[in-house]
Chain A
């Protein structure tokens, strides 16, 4: 029996009000795999993550986690099933301290012990945060905010991470470092990652498979090796 994929989405249709953004998207993420979603603005990348996580309603289509279908997903249910989501641009609670952000990341954890244990583990991965636990998150640099946003999600030791453009707002030289960190986390804590990114060449370096979204439909899906050479990438992406 092939390994049940962590996440299975079948012809998902969703959008905002009158505007249909996703016009039947099917993807699946294996248990310890990094799947990158690339595509132009307005192609529906962010909408896809929001629909999967239950922040916006699914108009049509099916979604299943580890084989079990989820009728109308909502964030609390998804978190309970080990799925964590980091919104676009590494959003953090700017008016709360770094430690408080981490505590909010684990707000759905039942016991105090698992919360402190989760925070310890997350902070070990990002030593730079260890020194700034009492700083308000708004004062952190772009790179530090990215680390904090990621660790907020890691407090729950999720099995699947949904990341929306973690490189947004980062200085160019920090981008590859940030994406390497995500690769590290995926392998170390055996977490599947569904990552939406604009910086295509950088994300291809860490992704096992890649999907190209164009106008709400998957226009290409396959191992990222296929897109490494420029001409194929240009033809598919531009």
Chain B
């Protein structure tokens, strides 16, 4: 499993420093949670790590590979998948199509493949089976043919997670995976995150619900005004005064 880290990362938006000189090594095969008040720069950090926003200074590394300047889709193809704070899905097409869209290296996605269709049918079958296996894993199998827009909000959150898995990414960056979700669905999502970590995936998620963080995070990073205020195992970090200060000041 390649290491995933950033060095000297900074980014400001018209004068306001959203991220200030961050050096973080995200522990692999662990669940790391990023907490901090509104406007602390959490989403900006994920945007920087996934290439959606260019840093002013500093670099991001996947193993020894410098991914700072790469386009977001290149980084995604290297195995770094993400979800968005405002839920993003193709609501007008069935659940299965969203999953199939996420499948990587499809011969059918080349122009020649689309026109000549050589081996595309077999590949579609393989991708369909894998997509259905993942939908079964997250418990959405019987919803495969429903339009994504017809799912409940919690189910849609589950689907975005499943789409990340469909890209075969080893690193998952989840932006508020359980925010605004019904408690039992939230438990389902948190358990799923735990199983994925046990399978060796690196999971990084932004969360506000401290009890959720306490339950599943192996490592916690407290971000405030673009700086790391504290980091370490949840038991130790969550009791520290800085975390209370950052949150409750």
Contacts and interface: CB of A to CB of B under 8 A. Distances in A.
A237 B243 CA distance: 13
Contact of A237 (B180, B183, B248, B249): B248
Contact of B248 (A19, A41, A165, A200): A200
Nearest to A18: B153
A198 B37 contact: yes
Contacts of A201: 248-249
Highest count of chain B CB atoms <10 Å: which of A40, A165, A200: A40
A47 to B, nearest CB: 10
A168 B38 contact: yes
A233 interface: yes
Interface in A10-53: 18-21, 40-42
Interface string B198-225: 0000000000111100000000000001
Interface string A208-233: 00000001100000000000001001
A135 to B, nearest CB: 15
A199 interface: yes
Interface string A155-176: 0000000000100110010010
A202 interface: yes
A21 B211 CA distance: 20
Contacts of B238: 238
A178 B248 CA distance: 16
Contact of A238 (B37, B183, B211, B225): B211
A19 B176 contact: no
B16 interface: yes
Highest count of chain B CB atoms <10 Å: which of A18, A41, A165: A41
Interface in B27-73: 37-39
A199 B180 contact: no
Nearest to A165: B38
Contacts of B208: 40-42
Contact of B179 (A41, A200, A234): A41
B96 to A, nearest CB: 20
Interface string A188-207: 00000000001111100000
Interface of A: 18-21, 40-42, 89, 142, 165, 168-169, 172, 175, 198-202, 215-216, 230, 233-234, 237-238
B247 interface: yes
A130 to B, nearest CB: 24
A42 B38 contact: no
Interface residues of B, number: 21
Interface of B: 16, 37-39, 149, 152-153, 176, 179-180, 183, 208-211, 225, 238, 244, 247-249
Contacts of A230: 244
Contact of B39 (A19, A42, A169): A169
B176 A41 contact: yes
A40 B249 contact: no
B248 A199 contact: yes
Task: For the complex of A and B, list the 4 residue pairs with the smallest distance between their C-beta atoms, beginning with the closest.
Answer: A42-B179, A40-B208, A200-B248, A238-B210
Nearest to B239: A234
B247 A41 contact: no
Given A19-B153, A215-B183, A202 B39 contact: no
Contact of B180 (A42, A202, A234): A42
A198 B247 CA distance: 7
A168 B180 contact: no
Given A201-B248, A201-B249, 17 more contacts: A18-B152, A18-B153, A19-B180, A40-B208, A41-B179, A42-B179, A42-B180, A42-B208, A89-B39, A168-B38, A168-B39, A169-B39, A172-B249, A198-B38, A202-B249, A234-B244, A237-B248
Contacts of B37: 198-199
Nearest to B14: A138
Highest count of chain A CB atoms <10 Å: which of B208, B225, B248: B248
A237 B244 CA distance: 11
B193 to A, nearest CB: 17
Contact of A41 (B16, B38, B225, B244): B38
Contacts of A238: 210-211, 238
A237 B180 CA distance: 16
